[in-house]
Amino acid sequence: MDLKVIFLGTAGSVPTPKRSLPAILIKRKGEQLLFDCGEGVQRQMVIAGASFHKATKVFITHMHGDHVLGLPGLMQTMALHDRDKPLIIYGPLGIRKFVECIRETVQFGLTFPIEIHEVGEAGVVCETPEYVVQAIWANHVTPSLAYALVEKPRPGKFYPEKAKALGVPEGPLWGQLQRGKAAKLPDGRTIKPEDVLGSPRPGRKIVYTGDTRPFEGLAEFAAGADLLIHDATLGDELAERAAEDGHSTPSQAAEMAKKAGVKRLVLTHISARYEDASVLLEQARKIFENTTVAEDFLTVEVPFSSE
Ligand SMILES: [Zn+2]
Ligand SMILES: [Zn+2]
């Protein structure tokens, strides 16, 4: 599977014997996208078999310690492994100063460049030929971003019989058409990709709220997502407390999943008071059946919806 989500840390605020601090690793083709970087993330990566060498982008939702204090340790371990690829970090205002301060004061002996992108406004924060990462402001007690990884549509299915019927010789021209590019035939005719391909196939979409109260705009931001990863720090019985602290309850997350029409909901940032999180799961499932409460190292594969 070329798109896999591994929950490296699923606790909220403080670690527990079973839960490490927030960090969600998305493995996509040869790349690693790490959403939040709670303390202890490097050890969780070792256990999960993640790499300190691969192309890696880190997306920080907000500057609370439980979401960023894993960065110094991660940088240190990457240096000790002689990493040479850049580490690319996205986050809200403050992320640059934080990383620069620890670089100035801690003797890292960094072996790789660090690239920092401060995200000042909502929108596309990172774009590659195959996907974009978008951000939107969430509703926490400090400026906090929710992120969406959205793959671009792929060219439709290739029909060899159509290519043959149009007289396209088998070989490089077939490949060109399969990649969505027009092909010029030896006899001068030009064949368009849509002449031999089915309709474009949608990419996949994963949304991570970070710490947040339920907020206007998320339903649209997460619309149709294959996977919504939502804050569910406290149970429904503590809804008032959750609102005060800038968090959500399972029912609120489930309502959002339903409204956004997502395929699957995973709850995370679980308070230390829930040694057994099944009560949270029950609350959410009353509203949205396809819900899971994340545990550390839960792995979710995200397949293409249909061919
Ligand atoms: Zn938090
Ligand atoms: Zn927070």
Return the percentage of the chain with pLDDT > 90, whole number: 93
Report the separation in Å between the CA atom of 14 and the middle of ligand 2, taken as the mean of its atom positions: 11
E strands along 75-169, which residues? 87-91, 114-118, 123-127, 131-137, 145-151
Report the separation in Å between the CA atom of 8 and the middle of ligand 2, taken as the mean of its atom positions: 17
Cα 291 → chain centroid: 17
Q: What is the pLDDT of residue 254?
A: 98
Q: Which ligand is nearest to the CA of 212?
A: 2
Q: What is the pLDDT of residue 180?
A: 85
Model pLDDT for residues 38-64, shown as the tens digit of each residue: 999 999 999 999 999 999 999 999 999
Q: Please give the average per-residue pLDDT across 218-237, as a whole number.
A: 98
Q: What is the pLDDT of residue 155?
A: 86
Q: Do the Cβ atoms of 246 and 269 come closer than 8 Å?
A: no
Asked if pLDDT for residue 292 goes beyond 80, the answer is yes
Cα distances from 214 to residues 34, 64, 97, 180, 250, in angstroms, run: 23, 19, 29, 40, 11
Q: What is the pLDDT of residue 106?
A: 94
Q: Please give the average per-residue pLDDT across 86-92, as a whole number.
A: 98
Q: What is the pLDDT of residue 1?
A: 63
Q: Do the Cβ atoms of 257 and 228 come closer than 8 Å?
A: yes
pLDDT confidence tier of residue 271, bands split at 50, 70 and 90: very high
Q: Which ligand is nearest to the CA of 138?
A: 2
Q: CB under 8 Å to 288, separation ≥6 — which residues?
A: 253, 254, 255, 257, 258, 265
pLDDT confidence tier of residue 190, bands split at 50, 70 and 90: very high
Window from 96-105, 166-175, 238-247 with minimum mean pLDDT:
166-175
Q: For the chain, give percent helix, strand, coil, nearest 5.
A: 25, 25, 45
By CB neighbour count within 10 A (0-12 exposed, 13-18 middle, 19+ buried), where does 62 fall?
buried
Report the separation in Å between the CA atom of 170 and the middle of ligand 1, taken as the mean of its atom positions: 55
Would you say the C-alpha torsion 27, 4, 252, 232 has a positive or negative sign? negative
Return the percentage of the chain with pLDDT > 70, whole number: 99
Q: Which ligand is nearest to the CA of 64?
A: 2
Asked if pLDDT for residue 69 goes beyond 60, the answer is yes
Q: Which ligand is nearest to the CA of 270?
A: 1
Report the separation in Å between the CA atom of 63 and the middle of ligand 2, taken as the mean of its atom positions: 7
The residue type found at 123 is G
Cα 119 → chain centroid: 16
Asked if pLDDT for residue 253 goes beyond 60, the answer is yes
Report the separation in Å between the CA atom of 140 and the middle of ligand 2, taken as the mean of its atom positions: 7
Question: Active-site residue among 2, 36, 66, 211?
Answer: 66
pLDDT confidence tier of residue 306, bands split at 50, 70 and 90: low
How many residues does the structure list for the chain?
307
Report the separation in Å between the CA atom of 247 and the middle of ligand 2, taken as the mean of its atom positions: 8
pLDDT confidence tier of residue 173, bands split at 50, 70 and 90: very high
Model pLDDT for residues 22-33, shown as the tens digit of each residue: 999 999 999 999
**Whether 66 is catalytic:** yes
The neighbouring-strand residues paired with 144 are none
**Three-state secondary structure call for residue 93:** coil
The Cα–Cα gap between 23 and 16 comes to 14
Which tokens sit at 156? 């439709």
